[in-house]
Amino acid sequence: MSPFLTEPSDLDVERIISQLTLDEKVSLTAGKDFWHTVPIPRLGIPSIRLSDGPNGVRGTRFFDSVPAACLPCGTAIGATFDTNLALRIGHMLGNEAKAKGAHVILGPTVNIQRSPLGGRGFESFSEDPLLSGVIAGHYCKGIQQKNIAATLKHFVCNDMEDERMAVNIVVTERALREIYLLPFMIAIKLAQPRAIMTSYSQVNGTHVSENHHLLQTILRDEWKWDGLVMSDWFGTYSTTGAIQAGLDLEMPGPSQWRGSALSHAVTANKVKKSLDQRVRNVLNLVNYTRSSGVPENAEEHETNIEEHRSLLREVASQSIVLLKNSVLPLKKTKVAVIGPNSKIATYCGGGSASLRPYYTVTPFEGLASQAQVEFSQGTYGHQLLPQLGSRLHTLGGQRGFQWRVYNEAPQAASRRVLETRVLTDSDVFFLDYSHPELAPIWFSDAEGVFVPEESGTYDFGLAVQGTGKLYVDGTLLVSNVEDQKPGASFLGSGTVEETGTMELVAGREYRILVQWGCAKTSKLKVPGVVDFGHGGFRFSACKKLPDQAMMEAIALARSAEQVVLFAGLSGEWESEGQDRKTMDLPPHTDELISKVLDANPNAVIAIQSGTPVAMPWIDKANTVIHAWYGGNETGNAIADVIFGEVNPVSKPKCVWMKLTFQSGKLPLTIPRKLKQNPAYLNFKSEAGRCLYGEDVYVGYRYYEKVEVEPLFPFGHGLSYTSFELSDVDIGESVRVKIKNTGDVAGAEVIQVYVAPVAPPIERPEKELKGFTKVFLKAGEEKFAEVELDIMRATSYWDEYSGQWCSQAGQYRVLVGTSSAGKFVEGSLEVDLTTYWTGL
């Protein structure tokens, strides 16, 4: 019997398999639609709902979705180094899933950040497989304690976006095992997640969704995992090959590869017993989800409760990393706020991880809620112009714009409206939109009224997957129909943003009209990118900054005692569908930061990004924090850190206490420049393949091996207090004495690294093998304990034997608070070489 069957079970899986017709079996192995599996009512098999993670639970719609709780991004969660927090995150997500009527959460993402340029790097937890796997395991455990199924993704080597559906990842078996598969292996051992999603790419010549070595030999035979394997959306590329390799569920539906093609393959004896196993795994997952209490086709609703808001604020504040500090915490008096990220809520990265949040808090709003603030923009940091939708009102006075659907083109003699809605989000993605009367080629209009607050020159923008035109008061200002250029919009399947300019007068009403045609009206096809659904449009506008804007910001910095400058990236710069070209901040940002620091060296620089950015001004800066993408509570969490406040959390009512910053740590290395990154020469598809040439030397493993000092090392993060380690003892666990030698309470992350003394093959200088987070009052001293599985902690993958090898010999055990800090050291001896496989 499968270990995933929940007792008592409503479905007798083996009896049902014997009663299913061939067509019914085939139908169960693909989705019904974008988010649901196929039901078989005559046998009592319900449809179950899958919903995107990992930043939150979106529900069933990209387009006009029900708002949700938005977590800080994956790297932010990794920066907490806090397994208990990951467990509580899972509990919250389980409750959110029930609110959205979802049985399965498509998360967490446990891929590895090979390079700062990875478009989806922000989704993953760490460059280190142990940290990633341990956090993921507790995250999954929390979700499944609410009887909602968790999905590890993307299995495996889904670490860049360049030609992601076509590229062949060429990787040694050793690197595959020690770096890229290891987080999956750890998370499975800790939590037995009920599902796994395959990556888009090939690995060593075969797409993962039809890769027998990965799906059957390793995942099922060696690891004895018995859950459901699903494809990433449109990530199935064959019928017989995928079924035989172990891909249980093709998503989304309706099926492209199964259906009549699979029935024919079964009839022709190309697929035999493997079909029943695929069906069995689908039914076992259906059985597991019956204990969730989520009814079939449940209505979606919002949770948005104080307990969740409090947790979101805690996670975001715990994740913030203090890179340098000489002035924080600030006094709650008067603060000058400067910079491009100040008045925008960069709460999430882009792509399928993004969602519509219950609310957002900008850094400006967060600081303004606790102190008196002055503001100067300085420069913009957007890649695309800011969305216009929420700044419009309808002709009837409602906030937002009126959206209308037609089967006829704008130039048709008569047009019949199929549907009308009022929307506020002007990044409109029809990926999962449906209407019973919708024609194969269809059109829509978006119309609203814009009243500018300031007179001046305004830029308007329009990006589409499809075709579109933007009019202001009947004047065609932007046409995105002919000679379209591929861009990052709509997960890489859309165009660049085309723009037009117009002089506007403050207080006057301007009628904005966007006329759009679905994806099939466009000739643009982007190779190596998923062609998602019906397409979409994004319209935007922004007043041009005057030439003196930067000088005004510098003058404010010079005159202020306390200054915070907010800069960084956003979901436009870091997104599924595209990799970054450089580590640079947006144009003019570095110039602004450098000049503000010249005017006021004590200015606090707050950077938001999901992965590393270049900091050419770092030697000028005395205080720098890294704030990631902080979810709903972004601004409040940043303010809590800047003013030395934290949320003690998880009480029926939110109680705020004056404590101290709880020390986030870098879950990845920040290099001084891109060329120092180990994947610099191997981070794109070349002739259809990408060589993982750095092998096992990913992240800090590389910098230490070649003795290149990064800008900030893995595991680095300061506190508002200080700690001292001593008296390390190595046994079945690592025990170390830690003392808070400062004046305030605080937390420290104990990091345990293992270093082989005389390895028989080339190995990293040391590797993280355990960690724990310890809270201490001022002056308090205690012993911290970190579990250490000696066999696993000393093992490498031996390619000659095809097994893990714990080599006999001596190993140093280094206990510290950063990968490059001071260590207290012990040692251990392995007496006998051991070979092993499995979890």
pLDDT tens-digit readout, 553-606: 999 999 999 999 999 999 999 999 899 999 999 999 999 999 999 999 999 999
| Number of Cβ atoms within 10 Å of the Cβ of 59 | 26
Q: Is 232 a catalytic residue?
A: yes
Band (pLDDT 50/70/90 cuts) for residue 10 is confident
Evaluate whether 510 touches 452 at the Cβ level (below 8 Å): yes
Band (pLDDT 50/70/90 cuts) for residue 532 is confident
Question: Taking 50 as the threshold, does the pLDDT of residue 8 lie above it?
Answer: no
Q: Which CATH class is domain 306-383+547-704?
A: alpha beta
Residue 158, classified by CB atoms within 10 Å of its CB into exposed (0-12), middle (13-18) or buried (19+), is: buried
| Residue ranges of the chain that CATH labels 3.20.20.300 | 13-292
Band (pLDDT 50/70/90 cuts) for residue 280 is very high
Is the N-terminal amide bond of 386 cis, ω within 30° of 0? no
Tell me the per-residue pLDDT of 426-441, one tens digit each, with 9 for 90 and over: 999 998 899 999 999 9
Task: Give the angle subtended at the CA of 676 by the CAs of 671 and 677, to the nearest 5°.
Answer: 75
Evaluate whether 177 touches 123 at the Cβ level (below 8 Å): no
| Residue ranges of the chain that CATH labels 3.40.50.1700 | 306-383+547-704
Q: Which CATH architecture has domain 721-836?
A: Sandwich (2.60)
| Residue ranges of the chain that CATH labels 2.60.120.260 | 389-543
Evaluate whether 394 touches 400 at the Cβ level (below 8 Å): yes
Tell me the per-residue pLDDT of 615-626, one tens digit each, with 9 for 90 and over: 999 999 999 999
Q: What is the mean pLDDT of the chain?
A: 94
**pLDDT given at position 492:** 85
Task: Give the angle subtended at the CA of 24 by the CAs of 20 and 29, to the nearest 5°.
Answer: 115
DSSP letter for each residue of 425-494:
--EEE-TT---TT--SS-EEEEEEEE--SS-EEEEEEEEEESEEEEEETTEEEEEESSS--B-STTTTTS
Task: Give the angle subtended at the CA of 608 by the CAs of 605 and 609, to the nearest 5°.
Answer: 135
Q: Which CATH class is domain 13-292?
A: alpha beta
Question: Taking 80 as the threshold, does the pLDDT of residue 15 lie above it?
Answer: yes
Q: In the CATH scheme, what is the code of domain 389-543?
A: 2.60.120.260
Comparison of pLDDT for 555 and 547, the residue scoring more? 555
Rg over CA atoms, the chain: 27
Sign of CA dihedral 166, 534, 495, 353: negative
Average pLDDT of span 193-220:
98
| Residue ranges of the chain that CATH labels 2.60.40.10 | 721-836
Band (pLDDT 50/70/90 cuts) for residue 282 is very high
Evaluate whether 693 touches 682 at the Cβ level (below 8 Å): yes
**pLDDT given at position 656:** 35
Query: What tokens appear for 796 in the block?
Result: 């490498």
**pLDDT given at position 4:** 45
Q: Which of 455-459, 527-531, 830-834 has the lowest mean pLDDT?
A: 527-531
Average pLDDT of span 310-337:
96
Look at strands 823-830 and 809-816 and give their pairing: antiparallel
Residue of 128, 162, 232, 248 marked catalytic: 232
**pLDDT given at position 652:** 34
**Residue 257 CA: distances (Å) to CA of 47, 106, 645:** 20, 22, 54
Tell me the per-residue pLDDT of 394-415, one tens digit each, with 9 for 90 and over: 999 999 999 999 999 999 999 9
Tell me the per-residue pLDDT of 730-773, one tens digit each, with 9 for 90 and over: 988 999 999 999 999 999 999 999 999 999 999 999 999 999 99
Tell me the per-residue pLDDT of 80-103, one tens digit each, with 9 for 90 and over: 999 999 999 999 999 999 999 999
Count CA atoms within 13 Å of residue 316 on its CB side: 36
